A and B are shown apart, each in its own frame.
Chain A
Amino acid sequence: MRKSARFLTCLLATMLFTVTAFSQSVTLTGTVRNKINAETVPAVSVTVKGSTLGAFTDENGSFRLTVPQLPVTLVFTSVGYEIQELTVTDASTPIQIDFVPGTALGQEVVVAASRTPQRILESPVTIERVSSVAIRNAPASNYYDVVANLKGVDVVASSLTFKTPTTRGFSGSGNLRFNQIVDGMDNQAPGLNFSVGSIIGLTELDVDNMELLPGASSALFGPGGMNGTLLINSKNPFRYQGLSFQVKTGIMNLGNRERGTSPYHNWSLRWAKKVSERFAFKIGTELIQAKDWLADDYRNYRRFGTSGFITSGTRDTDPNYDGVNVYGDETTINLRTSVLDLIAAQAPFLGSYISTLPGNIPVSRTGYTENEVADPNTINFKLNGALHYKLTNKIEAVLAGNWGTGNTVYTGSQRYSLKNLKVGQYKLELNSDKWFVRGYTTQENAGESHNLTITSQLFNEAWKPSAQWYREYAFAYLNAKQSGRPDMEAHNIARSAADVGRPKPGTQEFKTLFDQVRSKPIPTGGLFTDRSDLYMVEGQYNLTSLAQFAEVLVGGNWKQYVLNSEGTLFADTKGNPIKINEYGGYVQIGREIIKDLLKLTASGRYDKNENFEGRFTPRVTAVVSPVKDHNIRLSYQTAYRFPSTQQQWIDLNAGTGRLLGANRTLWEKYNLINDPGNAASSSGLGEKIPYREVKPESVTTFEGGYKALIGRKLLIDAYGYYGTYQDFITRRDVLQTSTGAGFSIVVNSPEKVKTYGWGASVEYLLPKNFVVSGSLSSDKIEDVPTGFRAFFNSPELRSVLSLANTGFGPERKLGFNVAWRWQDGFFYENDFTQGDLPAFNVVDAAVSLKQPKIKSLIKLGATNIGNQYYRTAVGNPSIGGVYYISFAYNVL
């Protein structure tokens, strides 16, 4: 109830701005047809040149537009067609436009670069745009995957449906330095901290465009987004109407012996209707169903707190084997001191024999592979709907909701099975040509999500407590040794003896016990009961018309996190969630200093989090256009982020140490202020780490870029940047020697960390609508102090090469797209596992055939066509090929 009250207040406030309607005089009507096949073209934007007036063609290609007087010049634009202009002097005959399909380079309009629409060519910062046509023609099996082929992008795939894109380094499954904004809503899960864009976002048919803004963007989009922001915008029901659906079916997991070839299904549906000139609505749904990719890295991991290294050894050749994607085997003891020495005390006749054994005999319990414990069925169900109402011709109210649920797997400090995770985002928004105000909330419910490591460890305990298991192991080990078996064989004999009766995966016994453990909250089970929420209100006003001399934008926001995990993740307690308030405001002034040559924009933003000092982040950009269609962009910007909600308040025993947030009360809880821990690493104990308040992290970036359209056929884009991170937030392992307890604490890096990189892309329009494009990009980090892990996780070099055609052959019905992506190998750092990540190549390809009569598209495609399994992170699943065929109705 209180939530809705907040929204109502905002709504009422903005109603006061209602602008009066204007007079109407001449009404123009017409139809837009495809010149090649004479089919009508819907959703074409028809605007009056030099004014804000405009309309869209409906399902039948017809439009209706009222203008104050004649003559007017109408501009017809739609993605995938060449722009056409028509000067109308007479309204008596309907207008007939023959639209020519084609590819126009550099003509797209972007909003994210400076929060106002502008041509992509003139953007003051690096930006990439993916249109609905590009998505339609892309070889990717899911729209979200299209981002991977943009330059400078790294995507970490935790599972089939859980993908996290990042730019400029610091990639990872739960990326905190990259914002994802869906229809204006930040969709970072307030409690789990990862962006849920690939799970709870728009449905494929409802995506109008995606804009990717690499680099710092706090000045416009608030805290976070230090490394980039991805904005995904949906289709307006006023413009895109009618019923459309898409059925995509394929196969995957080929050649995967453990999982077996399995089907892939992706169905989506969208229905939008303009009920009247004022009211339109849309609903959409999407269901993805498949057997997930399998995390099957069974290499041995020598763990130390949240750190460690990959080493040789298998279950049969290392008694202390701890497989990367094997869970439960993290439980380890020194058999000698913990068990054998006790046996020696009770059976003195063995004391002497035991004393000749090594002093340290680490033995781990027998684990289960991810295949055995994680639900292989990945499901992703999305439901969204929106009501659009034009309060006036200029003010549109939007009430929208995106809700999603699913089963997927995520990599954090461990692998988490996100089971029946539910996230809903609901917003109420008022848009005018000059301003918007928006209130939204993110409601998170972790459902039956559980930590696979902790669940498996406790499963082992529930079946046979370690005290008993290790005792049985020790006796069997001694007996096997005494009878002359070599050490490793004795260990294996001991393991089979202690494992007698161990529940077999797939049996009812296993399932019953596992379900029992995973449904109990941490620390007695593996469940985390997270129901954290986010509330946000923001608004922006474009003062340009008032200010006259320059484009002026002002905006502000208020945000509240409500962390509610009943103590299973955060340090909250049942009924007492932790609340964190943040607010901020920004102003941006832009002015064309020298007409058609130099445009300067300056923006500044102030944010305050109740737990941290306020921060001011400035941005200055310049666009120099020495020649038409040649733009040089320069920017200086600062971005920062407050520690994430987890970095502030987490209090989770991860089985291998306690993850602890930065808040002082947590340090007090574990007496770490009076009794600080010693820095711990595999090389031993270091100095004591005293309490130090964690500061927000900030980055200052200089960037230069050049974008040019040459002869309307060659589009070049290049950038270089240099960033300095200050108070870089990272984790360190400490050991409190008095209690023997290990903690992973949040700290600021004492030194500045530098990152720099560059990227370049070329897009060339060949005859017959063929487009060849390629990009090369690089990101590097420097000055990471020893003992700190930066989690930079980016290849030094990556490239994309593609050849595409959106329409060729008879009636331009055929389309195809082949993309090759390569990234260099690098050392991947993660709390879960770290190690060398090999370089990989991926080739995606698709061919499509248009059925203009029913506005449909048949597509035959494959991602990773060579089925060359690769991993995007150490410990994450190996990804093979998906081969699919799809039929999409009413999408042209």
Chain B
Amino acid sequence: MKLYINKWLKSAAYVAGAISLLASCNKDLPTAEPNPSPSTEGSTLTELLNGADFTILKAAVARAVPAATSGYTPLNTLFSDRTGEFTLFAPVNTAFAALGVTTPAQVAGFRPGQLDTLLRYHVVGGQRFLYTSTSTATTFPNFQFPTQLVLAPPSATLPPGLRMSIFPSKRNGTWVNNIPVTQPDQIAANGVIHKAAAIVAPPSQFLWNRIDTDPDLTYLKAAIKKADDGVAATDKLETALQNPAANFTLFAPTNVAFQTILTGLITQALVAQGIPATTAATQAATLASSPDVFTNAQVASVLTRQTVQGIVVYHLLAFDPIVSGTTVTVNGLRAFTPNFPTTSTSVKTFLNKAVVAHPGVTVQATFGTLGVTAASVKGVANPTASNVLINSATNINTSDQHYINGVLHKIDQVLRPQ
């Protein structure tokens, strides 16, 4: 009996077993396939810095250490991380000569924190900027990219945080700020290296600091104070010129330039009051001989706050205004002289916030073999263009003066909007 059952069970088991074999060929159910991660093959930035041109930079990167409290990853680690993505503007060995450094060993003369700050300004994260790519065709004046130099970490009031900006451009050659890029687009696994002819020094002051302290800009300072007279603190130009997130190109007329135009304006006004021309000219020259002229009650009707404000904001370059209903937004820009067009070209100013259709100023630069040899800017009411005082033996620190929130170019005429 038992045998009998066993026999049946056995044959049934054979059948079941045989059929189960058929089922065992079911393929596994398809599962989600991850998208491939971008290739990390090739040399890292660190490895590329082994090049002969970069021995000092390499030593500097090795020595640079962020402040312990910052929580930032050292650059050396970042550059070795194959998964990262950076654009590195890399000063070549000769660039360090300006700092008095000619051998890698000499970087020891700098504090690690100092080097870290300096070098972080040369690095843009999360992006591989290629000069040769068509997508980097540059509209006036340049690109503005956030670097690894953090001015303010993200916060509730400033959610994107604030990083010191750097300004690469492909206009009139390859540039970063006003420094020539001598060899762009060395591709690395984790980014790209552009050889820079000089150190791209991060600014440490605001535009206002220069205006406030330069003895040749006392009229400009007084003019700004006049323009700000009675304006709410948050809306003052002076405030904006100390705002690290702002972005300006300021054409700064010298004191002489202001005296010239003020004398002319006051003379005109006095003549209109019936004072003979020669007397008027003398009186006007006296009145204009001091920056106090802006607060002088005698000329209050000539140098109204509005007039002065109109003139001052006309010296700040801007993108085309964005009009949305009754709101006009004007965003500033930062044009280094190498970014200037080679033919006279119109650029809007902050005056467009009040006068939307104002044609703005025209700017132009002339290039020689070593860069910009001449640059000019012309107001619509100026008979001639005013010259940017290009840095030279006589004009010391007058063009491409870089600050946290903008660039300053001294000019020899006040720009007249009307």
Which residues in A have some Cβ–Cβ distance to B below 8 Å? 297-300, 312-314, 316-318, 323, 343, 345, 347-353, 356, 471, 475, 478-490, 801, 803, 808-810, 814, 816, 818, 820, 822, 836, 838-843, 845, 847, 864-866, 868-871, 878
Contact = CB atoms under 8 A, between A and B. Distances in A.
B19 A801 contact: yes
Contacts of A478: 160
B240 interface: no
Contact of B126 (A300, A487, A866): A487
Given A300-B32, A482-B124, 19 more contacts: A297-B30, A298-B32, A299-B30, A312-B33, A312-B34, A313-B34, A317-B36, A348-B332, A352-B144, A356-B136, A483-B148, A484-B85, A838-B27, A838-B29, A840-B26, A841-B23, A845-B16, A865-B16, A866-B23
A482 B22 CA distance: 56
Interface stretch (B4-12, B204-212, B275-283): B4-12
Contact of A353 (B27, B127, B154): B127
B245 A843 contact: no
B85 to A, nearest CB: 5
A809 B23 CA distance: 28
Nearest to A820: B19
Interface in B1-45: 1, 4-5, 8-9, 12, 15-16, 19-20, 22-27, 29-38
Given A349-B247, A356-B135, A487-B126, A475 B159 contact: yes
Nearest to A821: B23
B26 A868 contact: yes
A318 B35 contact: yes
B145 interface: yes
A198 B86 CA distance: 60
Interface in B310-344: 322, 329, 331-332
Interface stretch (B161-169, B219-227, B410-418): B161-169
A480 B126 contact: yes
A808 B162 contact: no
A794 to B, nearest CB: 19
B29 A485 contact: no
Nearest to A488: B37
Contact of A818 (B19, B86, B322, B329): B19
B125 interface: yes
Nearest to B167: A352
Given A314-B35, A820-B19, A869-B29, A484 B123 contact: yes
A318 B35 CA distance: 7
A382 B121 CA distance: 73
A865 B20 CA distance: 7
B143 interface: yes
Interface of B: 1, 4-5, 8-9, 12, 15-16, 19-20, 22-27, 29-38, 78, 83-86, 123-127, 129, 135-136, 143-146, 148, 154, 159-163, 165, 245, 247, 322, 329, 331-332
Contacts of B161: 479, 482
A777 to B, nearest CB: 18
A816 B135 contact: no
B84 A484 contact: yes
Most chain A beta-carbon contacts within 10 A, residue among B32, B37, B129: B32
17 contacts: A300-B32, A313-B33, A317-B35, A318-B35, A343-B160, A349-B162, A349-B245, A356-B136, A479-B161, A484-B125, A484-B148, A487-B126, A490-B126, A801-B19, A820-B22, A869-B26, A870-B29
B37 A356 contact: no
B196 to A, nearest CB: 19
Contacts of A316: 34
Tell me the dominant secondary structure on chain A's binding face. Answer: mixed
Contacts of B24: 866, 868
Given A482-B163, A816-B12, A843-B20, A348 B26 contact: no
Contacts of B33: 299, 312-314
B370 to A, nearest CB: 28
B70 to A, nearest CB: 12
A347 B245 contact: yes
* Most chain A beta-carbon neighbours within 10 Å: one of B83, B126, B129: B126
Contact of A486 (B25, B38, B331): B38
A475 B23 contact: no
Interface centre among A312, A314, A349, A478 (most CB of B within 10 A): A349
B30 A818 contact: no
Given A820-B22, A869-B29, A482 B126 contact: yes
A312 B163 contact: no
B144 A484 contact: no
B23 A485 contact: no
A499 to B, nearest CB: 17
A489 B144 contact: no
Nearest 6 A/B pairs, CB to CB: A481-B126, A484-B125, A317-B35, A868-B26, A352-B144, A866-B23
Nearest to A842: B23
Nearest to A316: B34
A139 to B, nearest CB: 10
Contacts of A299: 30-33
Nearest to B85: A486
Contacts of B86: 484
A847 B12 contact: yes
B79 to A, nearest CB: 9
Contacts of A345: 322, 329
A300 B32 CA distance: 7
Contact of B25 (A471, A481, A841, A864): A841
A843 B22 contact: yes
A356 B129 contact: yes
B26 A349 contact: no
A484 B19 contact: no
Contacts of B23: 820, 841-843, 864-866, 868
Nearest to A357: B127
B32 to A, nearest CB: 5
